[in-house]
Structure 1
Amino acid sequence: MISTVIYLITLILISISWQGFTRDYIAYQLSGSTLEVTTSDGKVEINALNQSAFEVHYQPFGFKQLPSFAIDNASTLNKKDNRNLTVVDSAKALTLSSKTLVAIINKSPFSIRYTKPNGEYIAAEELGLFTQKPQAVMPKVTVKTDENTLAVDNEVIEVADLNAAPPIEFTLGFRFKLQPQEKILGGGQRVLGMDRRGHKMPLYNRAHYGYEAHSNQMYYGLSAIMSSNKYIIVFDNSANGELDIGHDEADILQFSAIGGRTSYLIIAGDSYPKLIENLVDVTGKQPLPPRWSLGNIASRFGYHSEQEARAVVQKYHDEDFPLDAIVFDLYWFGPDIKGHMGNLNWDKKAFPTPVDMIKDFKAKGVNTIMITEPFILTSSSQWQSAVENSALMKNAQGQPEKFDFYFGNTGLVDVFDENSQDWFWQYYQNLAEQGVAGWWGDLGEPEVHPANGLHNFAGGKITGDEVHNAYGHKWAEMVFKRLQKFQPETRPFILMRSGFIGSQRYGMVPWTGDVSRSWGGFKPQVELALQMSVLGLSYIHSDLGGFAGDGPIDKELYIRWLQYGVFQPVYRPHAQENAKPEPIFHDTETKDILREYVKLRYQLMPYIYSLSIENGLTGMPIMRPMFFEDETKLSLIDEKDNYFYGNALLVTPVTEQGARSVEVNLPTGVWFNFWNDKRYSGNQKVTIAAPLDQTPVLVRGGAFIPMVEAVQSTKDYNTKNLILHYYADASVKSSSAMMYNDDGKDPNSLANGDYETLTFNAEQQGNNLSFNLQQAGDFSGMPASRKLSVMIHNFESTPVKIKVNNKAIKLVANQQQFTDHAIAAWYDSHTKQLQIKAEWNKTVNITIN
């Protein structure tokens, strides 16, 4: 192919045959949770991080090693006494066993295979660690045909194409065998389809401005895969690299990099949720975000002045749209897009009283989020300070590495260096003292990162290319840990668009970057969210409405995207100024539709917040792929257009222009239309109506959905008055669900057990339906009791007798009478809905005959 020939001409042809050598086994030693194997080219350590996860660290002579970025050392160190590892030594192999994972180390040739204790195969190295030395092969340039073309090995190419980038020279990697039937997710943010097998992708975080329905390289790549055989492999290497999932060789998974840490993690699990739980157990669980961050966030590129920002917040109130936060993009530190990045202080001409503004917003329940970038322009007010404090990435001569990019001539903050962090942090602390509540780290791939620039890290100098993919990770760690120390009673909220495996443990809330404001940009958002969620990054979300484009956004697209946003982890419309990303600036019909959706977000807050707590406890994703429903059906892995929002809701966004219905492959069971209670039998393809004011959402038969009345902001949120929806069906004999609740602010609520659980149980036998509702746990400010309204959907006939805690209650004739009574029941025969009001103190038992 022409591209291959170009590379031959521009440099040399790099042979892709790996350096051949024999790694010979010599001896082993087991110490605590670590097996150390001595080999002829160094040592191999297998560290049991938990019973289902091993870190395998090859340490050949002469290779520089960096600390792990993926492993949450604080978590794994506390578990090391509970491994109960055993080693069996035979003539041909060492067998290392934990309770649930076995590593069989073949002595010659040296390789490792992984099984369950019963011998069931999990995965196996094909080569283990490989290294290579480039081998020069000069191209055969035979003829110069004219001024514009060359003939190379008898192929004619254009001279203009000779500027193509040379291939990356990978120096190390790992190779694993793939089984014929396996489907593979992984690689993080890509638009390639759910099954990534057959693809080769760069591992170099890079912005893809205005992407649509295909992208092989984006803002947040992950050097990890999840197999349908229920294992995860994490390549714990931050360097510029490549992930080949059966592309060059159909049955080989290959990770390659220019250098970096030569280790990987292998994690097993008996189910997909358990597999994810085992992953976050060693890479870190997501701390709970503040509850306000799950509300509506006003954001655009950007608010030019304090007057404009105040007017926007007021308009949200005037238009009756709930609001919990406002984001300040570039203009808070300068009047223009270019030339001011790195000022890191308010532009007092445009924002004369920022502290008063923040305070006034807070009084309305609106929190302030500030954007920062890691670039300090030479034209910024902080350039000299950054130079004097040695806060920037250096060149080979020890001077700040300066370079040009879109926003101006700049240096890059060295977030790997503690002293540089000290300098950077002072600006965050100043803003935090002013009342800023949330943080947005932008351009943190970083968007431009000199490959040979030097960072000061781990006692030495490392190049940008060696740690590129961990830059956002270290930045988030810096902000998170220092906020923890400075504001120990506050939960950090940290928006960032790039990081590494395990960045979730630093409270990172990633988004999918500068997506096109188009139907093509909207369509892959579910795929992007699911791919990130199954590898631990559950708060991934999109700029609702789309970011990049010319002119205003299409009305229908805007409505559909913001409808979808209710059912993703974070609700944040965001776009360029010409698109008017806030719903309050749209026409009356759009506002009327979306006002109800934003309010629905707040009504669903008990359900949504429970998903956050469940994620914090177990790592269970908030958005869940269809293949969680039936783990034996591999074809479900390919489903990328619908998903579960928690366990109860099945969501199918409308991503086709003009569509007024969608087709859904229903899982087994009974399903109800969220908007009108229409019943569907499962295990078939059905068509769901989708008028412009309805995005298709189905509710699982037997599901409980706790809700409250909408509020203006979560400052006013309370569950004293709880509305519990139950979707009854004769086919569902019993069901249960759990709601979690805490004060929404305490960063230690889960660790200290300062939260409550509300357990909902239902039993149906014939025409008799009963509920047992239990409350357990406590926290400061918890409701002493609750007014409970149970809404039973699909109740077929007027009940004869209703008892609450063994006391009969009155069945009233109409809704007005129901409203007038504190404890009562009312059956609406038209909607087939039965409503029951009761008091809830610890336990409620309801029986309906």
Structure 2
Amino acid sequence: MLGLSGLLMSLPVAAQNAQRMITHVEKKSDSLEVKTNDGTYVFKPYSSSILETTFLPAGEAQTLLSHAVVLTPEHIHTQLTSSATAIDYVAADLRVHIQKTPFQISYSYKNNPLISEKNGYQKKDGNESLDFNLDDNEALYGAGARALGMNRRGYRLPLYNKAHYGYEDHSEQMNFSMPLFFSSKRYGIHFDNAAIGTLDLDSKKNNTLAYETISGRKTYQIIAGDSWTDVIANYTSLTGRQPLPPRWAFGNFASRFGYHTEAEARQILEKYKADQIPVDAIIFDLYWFGKEIKGTMGNLAFDADNFPQPQKMIADFSAQGVKTILITEPFVLTSSRKWQEAVDQHVLATDKNGLPYKYDFYFGNTGLIDIFDPHAQSWFWNIYKNLKAYGVAGWWGDLGEPEVHPSGLLHKTGTADEVHNIYGHEWAKLIADGYQKDFPDERPFILMRAGYSGSQRFGMIPWSGDVNRTWGGLRSQPEIALQMGMQGMAYMHSDLGGFAGANLDDELYTRWLQYGVFQPVFRPHAQEEVASEPVLRSPEAKSLAKSAIQLRYRMLPYNYTLAFENNQRGLPLMRPLFYAEPDNPRLYANADSYLWGNDLLVHPILQAGLKQASVYFPAQSKWFDFYTNQEYPAGSTQAVNVSTDHIPLFVRAGAFIPLVPAKRQIQNTTQYSTTELELHYYHDQSVTQSHGYLYDDDGVTAQAFEKAAFALLHFNSNYQNKTLTLKLRTEAGAHYAQADRLLDLVVHNINASPKQVLIGGKQVDFKWDQQNQNLMLALRWHKKSDHLNVVKIIMS
């Protein structure tokens, strides 16, 4: 074990404020207080892997609440030791080491050094800061949504949510600016303060990380873990887990900027039906409440001329299995039909005289709903509630940075700059709370462009903003989604095909949609100069897009299970390769490929005309091409041929991949059922045991798992003595209606026809495909008789 002196020497030791001296130390039941000549430090453990540090400057009182943290601190055994030179506070696996002179705080996890404060808290020129010492070679991630490259070290980044229209492969400021970073050493720090500021990730190349802010809490949490899975699970336990979205959220959306009339919307859905392209939802951009882009925002009611029968329209769509989603904004224009009502009801943010703060922006002269005022919240929620009575199934919250938010504007709980970054966060909370109160059994769908640490717990579905419709725009998307998944926002996705610019490029479009199969939400969307809907593209582009969408629907059992894993453990759906090899520095900055769940390796095509791609295959297992079954060695980099029909996709040896059967061409998720499944097992002799599972519920009920209205379908494999045994087992909640299942089983990499195949001990017929080396058989999965759900494949 590393001794205290050895631990201290192994950490960077740039000294803190030389004038800061300890005057008193008190160990409490749930924390440690260390008083200094200029304030008080409070160290508070939340779990064995999470510890919070707060500095209260002399004369200040901690009155602000956290907008991010929801975890109730566990009872952690702590130990305090003190010597003439240092204090050590041990809380389970975390240790705080405080050197007395010069004053220095450092942190370790299981005796492995993490990070140390440098100057600690400082106040200068009206700004407050906390800074830290970094190791020479640790990579840094986080700070929200940016396009910088995976390793974000070297940047000084504004913590101010701001839209970046038409960005491509570099953007230092976007809609989500999280006061959070993670290190390749497998720890993170969350700065628990909502006010605007800056996160400096060693921009001066002097091994210094600094958090700077205009005001607010001087609080941060250290989050550690043994693996990346642990670290992100710990962070999401701290800030909240994402509830399961409705299952239809994993289908295809019809969307553009925008559908002007009811007739136009009906016509577009008829095209999907005629072309037999699956679709689950249609999104109405701002034309649903106004004929023009400018001057109508804030009407928040259907335009009666262009949408004469909105309730019937929505009901007709619903009868086809298509949900309706409406865009809403927090701006009420002075020219809108609701302006006077908003003024009379006192729901708008104000100026210093208490009058509605009016200002100009792109859409007109406006006020802003004060989302922090309970009365304004109630007013806004009643609008949603009344529209929901029309049958609206989901909500799109746009411009929620807010897009223009003057510093002089005042909210109920603070100035614009003090609450700017949590505006979208509180807006999502308003809708989530409304559902819990008025529709507690339903899962909300909340698509939003801006949020904050912990916004995932409200069910927020974030997207990456107004990306340019170019290859540069596409190249930034995997990085943005991977980074946001690490920060709890696992449903970050892009406008498939790109949003900004009239660029008609069928190759770009199809490659973007092929990538979209393996991102959390499949939603083509764009300015209407070039169609975003596949039904309006060229025959070749339409055909390729249809194939991608059909694969997306076939993947529903796998994808929905990933959503369950995210809900239960905080695991991202998209995962960087360093999740698989956390100590491989070659992967620290890699976003060329990524893991889709645990068992699929995806390599998006991000350049035009590519015929071959270089793909790294993680070292824990062999990999098989999803389309050809070609085998690739673990830990190798291979040149892979690129097809027009799809992007490169590989399956981990030993993986179970459940799919909707190819023979069932479902047109939306209302036709989805796990009573018919296609289950693929990727056999390899190196894998002697493996396990997989599928999660199932009704797709609509809130907290179905907690209500015991679920099933887990377990798959197990065992290989020994040239016999592969597959066992199927159902674990069902008390409120889940069980049924027998029809299963098409495909076992890959069977290189010779087996001697025999037994199901429940009885020999059965099977098919063996010599060319593809697949074994195929159909079986009935009995809902209760587990002994009948055992398949033995006896090899030649």
Answer whether TM exceeds 0.5 for this pair: yes
Q: Is this contact kept in 1: 2:160–2:420, CA < 8 A?
A: yes
- In 1, Cα distance between equivalents of 2:780 and 2:84: 70
Counterpart pick for 2:283 among 327, 348, 356: 327
Q: How far off is 1:497 after superposition?
A: 1.1
Structure 1 partner of 2:709 = 754
Number of the residue aligned with 1:149: none
1:127 aligns with 2:134: no
What residue identity is the alignment partner of 2:212?
S
Counterpart of 1:112, as a letter, is I
- Return the match for 2:106 from 87, 109, 113: 113
2:575, 2:63 → 1: CA distance? 34
**1:260-659 map, 5 Å:** 260-457=216-413, 462-550=414-502, 552-659=503-610
Pick aligned residue for 1:719 from 674, 680, 696: 674
Are residues 1:839 and 2:794 paired? Answer: no
Counterparts of 2:85 and 2:340, CA distance in 1 = 63
Q: Which amino acid aligns with 2:396?
A: W
Query: Please, which of 58, 69, 92 is the counterpart of residue 99 of structure 1?
Result: 92
Superposition deviation, residue 207 in structure 1: 0.7
| Residues 250/288 of structure 1: CA separation in 2 closer, same or farther (3 Å cut) | same
Q: Distance in 2 between matches of 1:478 and 1:403?
A: 25
Deviation digits for residues 401-452 of structure 1 (CA, Å, limit 9, x no counterpart)? 1111100011111111111111211111111121111111101111101112
In the TM superposition, residue 778 of structure 1 has moved relative to its aligned partner by 2.5
The 3-state SS of whatever aligns with 2:44 is: strand
- Unaligned stretches of 5+ in structure 2? 1-14
In structure 2, give the amino acid aligned to 1:213.
D
| Distance verdict in 2 for CA 1:23–1:456, change over 3 Å | farther
- After superposition, the C-alpha distances for 1:723-781 in whole angstroms (9 at most, x for unaligned) are 10011122322222222222211212233443222221112235321112221122645
Mapped to 2, the partners of 1:664 and 1:173 lie a distance apart of 42
Looking at structure 1, the residues matched to 67 and 379 of structure 2 have their Cα atoms a distance apart, in angstroms, of 26
1:703 to 634, 646, 655: 655
Deviation at 1:27, TM superposition (A): 2.5
1:148 aligns to what? none
Summarize the alignment of residues 10-159 of structure 1 with structure 2, pairs less than 5 Å apart: 22-61=19-58, 67-73=64-70, 76-77=71-72, 79-80=73-74, 82-117=75-110, 119-132=111-124, 134=125
Q: Structure 2: how far apart are the matches of 1:31 and 1:426?
A: 46
More displaced stretch, 216-225 vs 675-684:
675-684
For 2:148 and 2:428, locate their aligned partners in 1 and report how far apart those are by CA, in whole Å: 28
- In the alignment, does 2:243 pair up with 1:246? no
The Cα shift of 1:793 comes to: 1.3
Cα contact 2:141–2:483 (8 A) shared by 1: yes
Root mean square deviation of aligned Cα: 1.8
Question: What amino acid does structure 2 have at the position aligned with 1:373?
Answer: E
| 2:5 matched residue in structure 1 | none
Aligned residues, how many? 772
Equivalent residues of 1:545, 1:553 under 8 A apart? no
Q: Which amino acid aligns with 1:848?
A: I
Q: Distance in 2 between matches of 1:67 and 1:313?
A: 49
* Contact 1:516/1:546, CA 8 A, preserved across alignment: yes
Q: 1:660 offset after TM fit, Å?
A: 2.4
Q: Is the 2:280–2:323 contact (alpha carbons within 8 Å) kept by the matching residues of 1? A: yes
Give the SS at the match of 1:404: strand
Q: For residue 602 of structure 1, report the CA deviation from its aligned partner.
A: 1.1
1:310 to 1:630, Cα distance in 2 relative to 1, 3 A: same
Contact 2:18 2:103 in 1 (8 A): no
Counterpart Cα distance in 2 of 1:31 and 1:52: 19
The equivalent of 2:771 in structure 1 is 830
Q: Which residue of 2 aligns with 1:158?
A: none
**Displacement after TM superposition at 1:66 (Å):** 6.3
Structure 1 residue corresponding to 2:739, chosen from 784, 787, 796: 784
Question: What amino acid maps onto 1:834 in structure 2?
Answer: L
Structure 2 CA distance for partners of 1:237 and 1:370, relative to 1, 3 Å: same
> Are 1:602 and 1:711, in contact at CA under 8 Å, matched by a contact in 2?
yes
Contact 1:743/1:780 (CA < 8 Å) preserved in 2?
A: no
Contact 2:16 2:117 in 1 (8 A): no
Q: Which residue of 2 aligns with 1:793?
A: 748
Partner of 2:173: 217
Q: In the alignment, is the contact (CA less than 8 A) between 1:521 and 1:546 conserved in 2?
A: yes
* Counterpart-to-counterpart distance in 1, 2:343 and 2:672: 47
SS in 2 for 1:749: coil
Alignment match, 2:6: none
Question: What letter is aligned with 1:87?
Answer: L
The answer to whether the 8 A contact 2:298-2:333 is kept is: yes
**Following the alignment from structure 1 to structure 2, what is the Cα–Cα distance between the partners of residues 70 and 423?**
22
TM-score, normalization by structure 1: 0.88
Distance change (3 Å), C-alpha of 1:71 and 1:220 = closer
Write the distance in 1 (CA, Å) between the matches of 2:376 and 2:36.
Answer: 39
Match of 2:693 among 717, 738, 762: 738
The one-character-per-residue Cα deviations of 1:551-574 (angstroms, maximum 9, x if unpaired) are x43111000000110000100000
Structure 2 counterpart of 1:131, which letter? K
Question: Displacement, 1:63?
Answer: 5.1
Q: Deviations over 1:248-295 (max 9, x none)?
A: 242110111111222111111011110000100111011111111111
Q: Percent identity?
A: 44
Separation (CA, whole Å) in 1 of partners of 2:130 and 2:107: 15
8 Å CA contact retained: 2:128, 2:215: yes
Q: Is the 8 A contact 1:454 1:463 kept in 2?
A: yes
Contact 1:96 1:103 in 2 (8 A): yes
2:726 is the counterpart of 1:771: yes
Contact 1:648 1:699 in 2 (8 A): yes
Q: State the AA in 1 paired with 2:19.
A: T
Distance in 2 separating the partners of 1:31 and 1:372? 48
User: CA, structure 1 residues 778+338, in 2 after alignment: closer, same or farther (shift >3 Å)?
Assistant: same
Deviation track 1:653-680 (CA, whole Å, cap 9, x = no partner) reads: 1111111221101222321111121222
Separation (CA, whole Å) in 2 of partners of 1:641 and 1:520: 14
One-letter amino acid of the structure 1 residue matched with residue 207 of structure 2:
D
Secondary structure at the aligned position of 1:434 is classed as coil
1:520/1:63 CA distance change after superposition, 3 Å: farther
Flag the 1:66–1:584 CA change in 2: closer, same or farther, 3 A: farther
**CA-to-aligned-CA distance 1:557-615 (integer Å, 9 cap, x gap):** 00000011000010000001112101111122222222121111111101000000000
What SS does structure 2 have at the residue aligned with 1:539? coil
- Structure 1: distance between partners of 2:29 and 2:380: 40
Whether contact under 8 Å (1:19, 1:130) holds in the other structure is: no
- Report how far residue 91 of structure 1 moved: 3.8
Q: State the TM-score, normalizing by the size of structure 2.
A: 0.94
Cα gap change, 1:251 to 1:370, in 2 (>3 Å): same
C-alpha contact (below 8 Å) 1:69/1:500 kept by paired residues: no
- Which amino acid is the alignment partner of residue 671 of structure 1? W
- Deviation at residue 826 of structure 1 after TM alignment: 1.2
CA distance 1:418–1:21, shift in 2 (3 Å): farther
CA shift, 1:30, in A, is: 3.8
